[in-house]
A and B are shown apart, each in its own frame.
Chain A
Amino acid sequence: MESLEQIKSRIEAAIAGASVTIVPNPGPANQPSLLIDNEHAFAAVQFLRDDAELRLDYCSSVTGVDWLDRTVKKTVKVKEIVDGVEKEIDRAEEEKIPGYLEAVYHLYSTVRKHGPVIVRMRTTDRLDGAHLPSMTPLYRSAEFQEREIYDLYGVTFEGHPDLRRILMWDEFEDHPMRKDYVQPDDFEYEPTPHDEVLERAKEHYSERPTIDGAEPVSTQP
């Protein structure tokens, strides 16, 4: 198979305006990947699939990764005037890198028997910008796996034919694979008319004594 640099330059030659970055992967596994901008990702993956040399017709694994906001500490040389003399001083600065969600596709070829070519896409942020183009029109195998990312990570795939929750139940609201996910105390809790009755019944209760001024223990959120 061609090297990743060759594939990158061929994608950029074939698709005008596509920006492809090689994400290095240090370590023994040595599986670097291609980071493609969201606008051209669909066309780029289509190119990878249909190209006569590569023929990456089989999309094996699709998965999401959550990267939280992080701060990187670094020292910057700054020129400052100290006691009337200009000096170069090292100053510690913190750079904030906003978090994002990632979708990672592992592409193989059943014809040429090579691979993987790893394609990544990144959302702009972890909130409203969590949108990515769907690869399901190109690879059917992405259908359930993108649904799984939508379910567990909350990435909306545009162009997906049937984007619904797949593993969690439909009424569930959070995305449990996110790194900042906090489990609710009671998964089974759901409001029922029964709760209203209990709420009204509280008016008839006498005030409960608290022990050492502590808050009374509540059973429901």
Chain B
Amino acid sequence: MSARLEGELLEVSMGPQHPSTHGVFRMNVALDGEIVVKLKPVFGYLHRNHEQIGERTSYLGTMPYTDRLDYFNSMSNNWGYALAVEKLAGVEVPERAQYLRVILAELSRLQNHASLLGFLLSDMGAWGTPLMYAFREREKVLDLFESLAGSRMMCDYMRFGGCRVDADAAWMERAKKIVYDFPRFLDEFEELILENEIVIARTQHVGRVSAELAISAGITGPMLRASGVNYDLRKVDGYGFYPRFKFRIPLGEHGDTYDRLMMRVLEMRESIDILKQAFEAITPGPITNPKVKVRGFRPPAGECYGRIEGPKGELGFYLISDGTGTPYRYHVRAPSFINLTILEDMCLGHTVADVMVILGSIDIVMGEVDR
């Protein structure tokens, strides 16, 4: 008789209806006891062929569809798409619209990162309370979006060469108040979570990604910077008016889940800095480029890849125009889809409970993964 106890591998299908998979996402996991030895992500449950819908509608018609990609950050998605089309057609954006875009994209980043932290804590077992704290702040930002764009999550706000509606002085005052009050929430939240023993035990040295692997795997956004790679498109590309702002790029050291969590906290602080500067710098003026005919928009033939630093990573739009009112090819480079590539590498050797935390720290939204 063998002295060693030999067990069989246990195959578990985690998801698609698991509460911590943040949507309909499945992982086929092979377990040796409690340790993950193999993990294959399965998705596509929300696939609606977003790209083909884009190839069948007008350029403007795709704008509201981009809201549905990463439905936490419709403002950033709008900007990414508008930026690509503007590049394709060589359209200038007036100054006030550029500032408005920065303000809205950074507000979007604030609420995305805040709710991500809430979800992550929820995945770790801190059920409800931290998430509700985060959602309280998110509501304030969503109320702002609603009063400006008419919708809380599906904003459909940007247009080629500008923005759809202008923000009045009262809106600016409300936004200013929310932004100036935000650090109070952050102080409280950081005190609650960052030195919490359970959070530290669950996240430090869990799901480490080396800088080389992160670059090769196309990881972008806070996840890449948690591995210590200084690559932020707001600095690298300097799109929009970002070169006019003073802000720093927080960098991690270990590339583990704790660093990824920390990146979000620090990025929120930098976003607040950017927002404060934007409120000072914004001046009255036109918000649309009068030369652009938004309806029946026909860019010249050619192709273009435009990208922005979304809250989840590099959000890119690839467009091929054949000179008609419909794009010949419309492709979305979705950050959370590509950030999932090395999920298996991150989870190998960890327990099932850690898989949930690692997945939570990637920050995926299935609307964008499945497209």
Contacts and interface: CB of A to CB of B under 8 A. Distances in A.
Nearest to B40: A162
B331 interface: yes
B268 interface: no
B217 A141 contact: yes
B217 A167 contact: no
Contact of B300 (A28, A57, A141, A168): A28
A161 B299 CA distance: 39
B2 interface: no
Label chain B's interface by main secondary structure: mixed
B215 A110 contact: yes
A189 interface: no
Given A60-B218, A60-B316, A141-B218, A29 B302 contact: yes
Contact of B236 (A25, A113, A141, A176): A113
Interface stretch (B83-91, B135-143, B167-175): B83-91
B10 interface: no
Nearest to B333: A61
Contacts of B51: 152, 177
Given A65-B320, A177-B51, A58 B218 contact: yes
A104 B331 CA distance: 11
B333 A29 contact: no
A25 B88 contact: no
A113 B237 CA distance: 9
Given A60-B316, A63-B318, A167-B371, A141 B44 contact: no
Contacts of B316: 60-61, 106
B304 A31 contact: yes
B231 interface: yes
Label chain A's interface by main secondary structure: loop
A152 B50 CA distance: 12
A176 B320 CA distance: 18
A27 B342 contact: no
A26 B304 contact: no
Contact of A166 (B44, B219, B231): B44
B218 A110 contact: no
Given A61-B316, A168-B44, A177-B49, 17 more contacts: A26-B300, A27-B299, A27-B301, A28-B89, A29-B88, A29-B90, A58-B216, A58-B231, A60-B314, A61-B333, A63-B333, A106-B316, A116-B305, A140-B217, A167-B43, A167-B47, A177-B52
15 contacts: A27-B300, A27-B301, A27-B304, A27-B321, A29-B87, A29-B302, A58-B216, A58-B231, A60-B333, A63-B318, A65-B320, A140-B217, A141-B216, A141-B219, A168-B44
Interface of B: 43-44, 47, 49, 51-52, 87-90, 213, 215-220, 229, 231, 236, 299-305, 307, 314, 316, 318, 320-321, 328-329, 331, 333, 337-338, 340-342, 370-371
